[in-house]
Structure 1
Amino acid sequence: MAIETAALNPIEAFAIVGIAGVGAQWLAWRFRMPAIVLMLAVGLILGPVTGIFLPERDIGALVQPMISLAVAVILFEGGLTLNLRQLADARLAVRRLVYVGAPVGWLLSALVLNLVAGLGWQASIVFGGIMIVTGPTVIAPLLRQARLRARPAQALQWEAIVNDAIGALAAVFALLVVLTRQQELGEAQALWQLLRGIGFAMLLGVGMGFGVVRAFRRNLVPEYMKVPVLFVTVIVVFAGADLVLHESGLLAVTVMGLVIANADLPSYAEIYRFKESATILLVSGVFILLAAGIKFQALAMLDWRAAVFVLAVILVVRPLTVMISLIGTDLPWREKLLIALTGPRGVVLVAVSGIFGERLVAEGIPDGAMLTPLAFVLVVATVVLHGFTLAPLARALGLTSGDKPGLIIVGGSVFTTELAQALEKADVNVLITDPNRGHLLSARRAGLPYFYGDILSEAAENSVEFIAYNAILVASDNDAYNTLVATDLAPELGRDSIWQLARHKEDLPRHALPSQLGGRTVNGNRTLDQYLDLMERGWVFRTTRLTEEYTLEKWRAARPEVIPMATIDRGRLQFVGDPARIEGRPDTRIISLIPPETLEKIRLENEAAHLARAEARATRRGEGAGIGDPPAPAGAAG
């Protein structure tokens, strides 16, 4: 039972929702935890546990419209991710998981909900449709943490992205069927109302989608207004479709997103990034609202059936769905097993089930009240389970890329080749890419992994195991291309993982770029040409391992003239931005550029140390033989 506290005014309530949602997302990123579990915990603490924030009390009638609009934007985002050309080019396994896996998963989920969880058929077919989704925002961090090989990782990620939209569409269709039948109309009238509502929603979504595309292509909307216009259009489409058939607005906005995603808009990247930011905010808010609004009475409705239901979904529905879908594909059994045992659910499941459950209850279907508690239980169970078991399972099946740090170097040259060789010796997975085959000649001669092509191309998406690399260094001879690559990949990998060599004339005001463009600069303001000049003068890469005795301070004192480039500490590769701020502890490895005179000095020091050790061994042998003893036979010291 919640503790009684004073009611909040709407402004205070909105502030708490924002702080709680975004704060939980940040904590999840900071401590590498599933954000959805933290948001659930925070929402439960604020709501039913402490009573600090109760949506019905503090926001009242605005709760349901806010959740509905947020879910509409979330589903529009799902449509924006569904590029049909990419799906057509996807491997057979991915297409099977979509075309076969979605309907099979829907059917099996509905059966388990009805036979195991005890829900009626109306609630079962609606919730079964939502259960198709596997949560792209959840699966991506898990895959990166587990460092899976490319093929199973791409299959899981593509399935999550595509089925996110398909599951929502399936649930919307099912809900519309149930709501139409609940109105106790004649068969013909019910069918007409359903077809009319679905047809109008799809026509509205397609029409407005093409309208947006046409307006954007003809420059009828200025660049700075494209995102606001798109946002308002989503709300208008959602509201307009709902006027004809309630909840059909969700279908309309999903279809509109699909149309825009497949139109090759030049502004699509900016739209997509804004959409990602808006979705994070909305998902956070919806999750806090739903979790804080849960009542202990609803949680008390969960009994042993809920536990059996979760086990059935994880151990029966998911494996059976995947195995049926992948019959006849060329995937090895290990990869099929890994995919079959990996199916974390995400925020879309909870958000959509929350609003659909309320709608079913309002229409006189009491089982709708079970959708939100069951969704929470399933999400938490799958996220926690797969969060702890995916990496060990992948290692046991031999499907990981290893625990080594990984680096993609964009730009082939003598400098990047020798840097890659030094990093490989320090146990780093390195890949050199360049759209110019001639620039890759030195990398090919050195036997280094390389990709010939543009790192931003679709071919790279299909050929490069991005998930095996956690950092990128852009170091081509084209400053504009370097900035483009760093800027484009920063939102996906994080700007702290994107490094770039200094640009020519970067220190001049007329050539300076805004801080949000490009990556982090490596060690001062040296350009590629300056590094190549050093290489021509005999500078070489060397790796130094710090110890308890040979500390960072001693290394700095002994090698003041070297250029530190990167450090490897506890399996994490980090390039040096400011040499004065290097952190070194025992076992930290420092990759640095060393001038030829220092290299000669190191060689002489090593020779002197070798001679000193040899003399010390000879002295110990002489003392061990004793005075008057015969000399040791030749070669005995070895």
Structure 2
Amino acid sequence: MAGMLAQWLAWRLKLPSILFLLLIGLVAGPVTGFVEPDIIFGDLLFPAVSLGVALVLFEGALTLRFRDLAGHGSSVTSLVSWGAGLNWLLIAAGTWLFIDLSWPMALLFGALVVVTGPTVIMPLLRTVKPNANISNILRWEGILIDPIGALLAVLVYEVIIAGGSGNFWVFLIHELVSGVVTGALGALLLAQLLKRHWLPEYLHNVFTLALVLTVFTTANYFAEESGLLAVTVMGIWLANTRDLNMEDILSFKESLTILIISVLFIVLAARVDLDLIGNLGWAAVGVMAVIIAARFVVIFACTLRSKLKWQEKALLGWIAPRGIVAAAVSALFAFKLESLGYENASLLPALTFLVIIATVLLQSFTAAPLARLLGLSQDDNGILIVGGNPVALAVAKALQKQNLRIRMATSSWSEAQTARMAGIDTYFGNPVSAHADRHLDLVGLGRLFAMSYRPALNSLAAMRYQSEFGKRMVMTLRNAEEKDSTEKGQLVHSLRVPRMFDDDVNIGKLASLLSQNHEIKATKLTAEFGPEQFENHHGKVLRLFAIDPRGKLWVYSNESQPQPKVGWTLLFLSKAKDQQQLLEEGRKADDPPRDVESPA
């Protein structure tokens, strides 16, 4: 329950959950002595932590698609390749300089803390609200560096373990071959079973879980401590296998990982010796300064040839909270290295947890003011539209032409393709899934229009995003089968959200009108063509939206009827003019139209 409390606090406060998990663990363990993991779990502690970390690494590796490395600009590619290597070496050198760690331990610590990760970056972006340049770089860096950093840490660990053996190269090759081959064979087996439909759908998730644990234990059987490398290779292999849909399995793994992390990090934090951190004194401050300085060096080096302004580079340099992979792997490595007699190995989790807590806290409270100071924060007046049907697409195109930021979310591939071809930024997937929580970019968005053909999805989306945008900023469009006027058709009061447009308007009616040559038009009210002239010229039309001179969007709904004035822009549904009408209007040169009506 403590883990679930931490997850709930993170959701409510829009902060990374790892912060609360570690704080609860530290209070429960070294501060109060209430939880003593070594006594509670005994000899099962190391195997349990090993299996938990294996699942965390496999789930993270499933997100690394090689095609993504080159698909998000040279800055992102540099940050997750040679930039990560530079960051690793700078942090390792600074740690060796300030703290009495051997070079192998310093290199391992450096590899652990180069990882940011989407679980810590996404909540921070929603709070900071930076511009699109910064948001895209940080989001994709977090997604891609997560598995790359994990792989780097595992490889450094393998090298350290090999160094303690009698024959370095034989041991290292044995470990690498065992991990790579076992992971590849496990990935090939699962891929073939899924592609050939030899597994019933209800066994996909459970079988994958069992196979991951089998691969982990098998690799360790052939070469001790090669299991982490095996599951990482397996995840990366599956992520890059063609014609293999892993979304459902990934969603299951994400849900399972939340449960594992909620228990794992509290247990690991409860084992931390706070005296170790206290004894470091100013040396720990020096390490933190090196980590921050290394980030700025890497950012300015990786973006040297980019068109980013210095203010954007400065904010990118400041935002780099460390996350889940660093915490999980550091504790596991410390277990093994201590047993092998490596001096100061116990410092790894203590120092890593200190870095995580310090970076998350420091940047959570300072990144937003810094973004405003540098002029890089943006208003959250964009709109998330759930659904990609013709009605949702028409609304998205009309609002985007009014310079409003639009992001569409749909689980239909054909709808996603059509929206992208129309120039609409589109998330392909279920907007209420765990995958959307990690990958759906909400930066710059401040309201939700649920407009899918599925009433249940609209209701779920409205419930899910009320906490993000506020209850008054979430709206749904009626479906034909929904009846608000009857008791059977009404939602309970706590679940009701405002409806879009008039009471008699539903998505079926709008789809029918659009198919009958209607379109969404926009007219700006002027001193010569004000509200009265609009009414006289157009008669009774279906008004959809109004935009005031400040750019604020108003929606005509069952609870709100905006009264536009001069300077406002009205968006309404009207029958498109055919070719004959256009020719006739062209002949009336002596009586030109007085409004500035245009298709929205």
The two structures share one fold, judged by TM-score above 0.5: yes
Asked if 1:114 is matched to 2:114, the reply is: no
Kindly state the Cα deviation for residue 72 of structure 1 after the two structures are TM-superposed. Answer: 0.6
Rounded to whole Å, the distance in 1 between the matches of 2:458 and 2:72 is 24
Give the letter aligned to residue 288 of structure 2: V
Give the letter aligned to residue 130 of structure 1: L
Kindly state the Cα deviation for residue 71 of structure 1 after the two structures are TM-superposed. Answer: 0.7
Kindly state the Cα deviation for residue 68 of structure 1 after the two structures are TM-superposed. Answer: 1.0
Contact residue 563 and residue 593 of structure 1 kept, 8 A: no
SS at match of 2:70: helix
- Please list the CA deviations of residues 221-256 of structure 1 after superposition, one character each: whole Å capped at 9, or x if unmatched: 111100011111111111111123332111110110
Counterpart of 1:527 (choices 475, 486, 506) is 506
Residues 43-192 of structure 1 mapped to structure 2, 5 A cutoff:
43-183=25-165, 185=166, 189-192=167-170
**5+ long unaligned stretches in structure 1:** 1-18, 441-448, 513-518, 542-561, 583-589, 595-638
Q: Tell me what 1:326 maps to.
A: 303
Asked if 1:195 is matched to 2:166, the reply is: no
Q: Tell me what 2:570 maps to.
A: none
Q: Tell me what 2:202 maps to.
A: 224
Contact residue 94 and residue 287 of structure 2 kept, 8 A: yes
Kindly state the Cα deviation for residue 421 of structure 1 after the two structures are TM-superposed. Answer: 8.4
Contact residue 410 and residue 455 of structure 1 kept, 8 A: no
**Shift in CA distance, 491/195, structure 1 to aligned 2, threshold 3 Å:** farther
Q: Relative to structure 2, which stretch is displaced further, 304-313 or 409-418?
A: 409-418
Rounded to whole Å, the distance in 1 between the matches of 2:562 and 2:554 is 12
Counterpart of 1:452 (choices 396, 413, 423) is 423
Q: Tell me what 2:344 maps to.
A: 367
Contact residue 354 and residue 372 of structure 1 kept, 8 A: yes
Rounded to whole Å, the distance in 2 between the matches of 1:451 and 1:29 is 34
Rounded to whole Å, the distance in 2 between the matches of 1:422 and 1:234 is 46
Counterpart of 2:365 (choices 378, 388, 391) is 388
**Shift in CA distance, 574/119, structure 1 to aligned 2, threshold 3 Å:** farther
Q: Tell me what 1:244 maps to.
A: 222
**Shift in CA distance, 403/418, structure 1 to aligned 2, threshold 3 Å:** closer
Contact residue 99 and residue 280 of structure 2 kept, 8 A: no
CA-atom RMSD in angstroms? 4.5
Q: Tell me what 1:36 maps to.
A: 18
Asked if 1:473 is matched to 2:449, the reply is: yes
- Please list the CA deviations of residues 399-447 of structure 1 after superposition, one character each: whole Å capped at 9, or x if unmatched: 222254644475688999789989999x98556899899x99xxxxxxx
Contact residue 208 and residue 237 of structure 1 kept, 8 A: yes
SS at match of 1:104: helix
**5+ long unaligned stretches in structure 2:** 430-435, 484-488, 490-495, 523-541, 565-600
Rounded to whole Å, the distance in 2 between the matches of 1:20 and 1:576 is 44
Give the letter aligned to residue 286 of structure 1: L
Contact residue 302 and residue 373 of structure 1 kept, 8 A: no
Contact residue 175 and residue 225 of structure 2 kept, 8 A: no
Contact residue 412 and residue 433 of structure 1 kept, 8 A: no
Contact residue 12 and residue 467 of structure 2 kept, 8 A: no
Contact residue 46 and residue 292 of structure 1 kept, 8 A: yes
Contact residue 407 and residue 427 of structure 2 kept, 8 A: no
SS at match of 2:308: coil
Q: Tell me the percent identity.
A: 32
Kindly state the Cα deviation for residue 358 of structure 1 after the two structures are TM-superposed. Answer: 2.0
Rounded to whole Å, the distance in 2 between the matches of 1:83 and 1:492 is 28
Contact residue 148 and residue 394 of structure 1 kept, 8 A: yes
Rounded to whole Å, the distance in 2 between the matches of 1:389 and 1:564 is 40
Q: Tell me what 1:269 maps to.
A: 247
Rounded to whole Å, the distance in 2 between the matches of 1:384 and 1:572 is 33
SS at match of 2:275: helix
Instruction: Number of aligned residue pairs: give it.
Output: 513
Rounded to whole Å, the distance in 1 between the matches of 2:562 and 2:242 is 44
Rounded to whole Å, the distance in 2 between the matches of 1:139 and 1:431 is 19
Rounded to whole Å, the distance in 1 between the matches of 2:191 and 2:198 is 10
**Shift in CA distance, 473/180, structure 1 to aligned 2, threshold 3 Å:** same
SS at match of 1:294: coil
Rounded to whole Å, the distance in 1 between the matches of 2:274 and 2:98 is 22
Kindly state the Cα deviation for residue 564 of structure 1 after the two structures are TM-superposed. Answer: 12
Rounded to whole Å, the distance in 1 between the matches of 2:251 and 2:227 is 23
**Shift in CA distance, 384/211, structure 1 to aligned 2, threshold 3 Å:** same
SS at match of 1:323: helix
Contact residue 94 and residue 290 of structure 2 kept, 8 A: yes
Contact residue 386 and residue 458 of structure 2 kept, 8 A: no
Kindly state the Cα deviation for residue 92 of structure 1 after the two structures are TM-superposed. Answer: 1.0
Kindly state the Cα deviation for residue 474 of structure 1 after the two structures are TM-superposed. Answer: 4.0
Contact residue 106 and residue 125 of structure 1 kept, 8 A: yes
- Please list the CA deviations of residues 336-368 of structure 1 after superposition, one character each: whole Å capped at 9, or x if unmatched: 222122111012211111111222111111221
Rounded to whole Å, the distance in 2 between the matches of 1:267 and 1:593 is 49
Residues 289-300 of structure 1 mapped to structure 2, 5 A cutoff:
289-300=267-278
Kindly state the Cα deviation for residue 484 of structure 1 after the two structures are TM-superposed. Answer: 8.0
Rounded to whole Å, the distance in 2 between the matches of 1:365 and 1:294 is 17
**Shift in CA distance, 220/522, structure 1 to aligned 2, threshold 3 Å:** farther
Contact residue 565 and residue 591 of structure 1 kept, 8 A: no
SS at match of 1:473: strand
SS at match of 2:198: coil
- Please list the CA deviations of residues 109-131 of structure 1 after superposition, one character each: whole Å capped at 9, or x if unmatched: 11111112231112111111111
Instruction: Normalising by structure 2, report the TM-score.
Output: 0.74
Kindly state the Cα deviation for residue 78 of structure 1 after the two structures are TM-superposed. Answer: 1.3
Q: Tell me what 1:552 maps to.
A: none
Rounded to whole Å, the distance in 1 between the matches of 2:497 and 2:199 is 34
Rounded to whole Å, the distance in 2 between the matches of 1:64 and 1:200 is 21
Contact residue 172 and residue 251 of structure 1 kept, 8 A: yes
Rounded to whole Å, the distance in 2 between the matches of 1:254 and 1:397 is 39
Residues 392-407 of structure 1 mapped to structure 2, 5 A cutoff:
392-404=369-381, 406-407=383-384
SS at match of 2:219: helix
SS at match of 2:321: coil
SS at match of 2:280: coil
Asked if 1:25 is matched to 2:7, the reply is: yes
Larger radius of gyration between Structure 1 and Structure 2 = 1
Q: Tell me what 2:258 maps to.
A: 280
Rounded to whole Å, the distance in 2 between the matches of 1:429 and 1:361 is 53
Contact residue 298 and residue 373 of structure 1 kept, 8 A: yes
Give the letter aligned to residue 145 of structure 2: N
- Please list the CA deviations of residues 446-493 of structure 1 after superposition, one character each: whole Å capped at 9, or x if unmatched: xxx9953583459xx9xx9752114432436xx26x988998999899
Rounded to whole Å, the distance in 1 between the matches of 2:117 and 2:43 is 29
- Please list the CA deviations of residues 280-320 of structure 1 after superposition, one character each: whole Å capped at 9, or x if unmatched: 11112111001112234334333210111112211x11111
SS at match of 1:467: coil
**Shift in CA distance, 472/263, structure 1 to aligned 2, threshold 3 Å:** farther
Give the letter aligned to residue 251 of structure 1: L
Kindly state the Cα deviation for residue 527 of structure 1 after the two structures are TM-superposed. Answer: 1.9
Instruction: Normalising by structure 1, report the TM-score.
Output: 0.70
Rounded to whole Å, the distance in 2 between the matches of 1:492 and 1:226 is 29
Rounded to whole Å, the distance in 2 between the matches of 1:31 and 1:39 is 14
- Please list the CA deviations of residues 111-153 of structure 1 after superposition, one character each: whole Å capped at 9, or x if unmatched: 1111122311121111111111013200111012211222211
SS at match of 1:472: strand
Rounded to whole Å, the distance in 1 between the matches of 2:407 and 2:87 is 38
Rounded to whole Å, the distance in 1 between the matches of 2:85 and 2:400 is 47
Contact residue 76 and residue 141 of structure 2 kept, 8 A: yes
Rounded to whole Å, the distance in 1 between the matches of 2:97 and 2:330 is 19
